[in-house]
Amino acid sequence: MRIHIPDAESQEAFGRRLAAVLAPGIVVYLAGDLGAGKTTLVRGILRGLGHQGPVRSPTYTLVEPYELTACLCAHLDLYRLGDPEELEYLGLRDLVAENRLLLVEWPERGVGMLPPADLVLKIAYADPGRNLHLEAATQKGEAVLRRLREPI
């Protein structure tokens, strides 16, 4: 599925729409260059799940947990991860065991330790805006895309 997003507000709005079709236990990989809007999209997802507070990129903490009414969620930003094995020290196994929604920026830095993605979301610069490419990697991911294609 490919979508053109004209601006940051639309990207956050798409995140809210995506939140409506995500469920606990789904793993979403977010790929894209620095500044492409991965955290903006995550902010929209979290807002769509009912989070009212600030959404910061966990660039330095690597993991930011959210206990939401709809589900438990963990936002990971692995840009500064030195070695994939560091994820063990961050409690990744516990995050996965609790059947959380996982939103992972820079997933290529956690290869071998991260659970496989259900949905891969690639963000690319466009003039104007961004192009989003969503790929299902599992049956759960296929179900998300099916629900996303349904009329609003």
Report how far residue 113's alpha carbon sits from residue 109's, in angstroms, rounded to the nearest whole number: 9
pLDDT value of position 113 = 87
User: Which residues form the domain of 67?
Assistant: 2-149
Round to whole Å and give the CA distance between 86 and 107: 13
pLDDT in tens, the chain (152 residues): 999 999 999 999 999 999 999 988 999 999 999 989 999 999 999 999 999 988 888 777 788 888 888 888 999 999 988 888 888 888 887 877 677 899 999 999 999 889 999 999 999 999 899 999 999 999 999 999 999 998 76
- CA–CA separation, 144 vs 81, rounded Å? 29
pTM for the model:
0.92
Reduced to 3 states, what is the DSSP secondary structure of residue 23? coil
Which tokens go with 98? 């609790």
Q: What is the pLDDT of residue 152?
A: 66
What CATH number does residue 135 fall under? 3.40.50.300
Query: How many structural domains compose the chain?
Result: 1
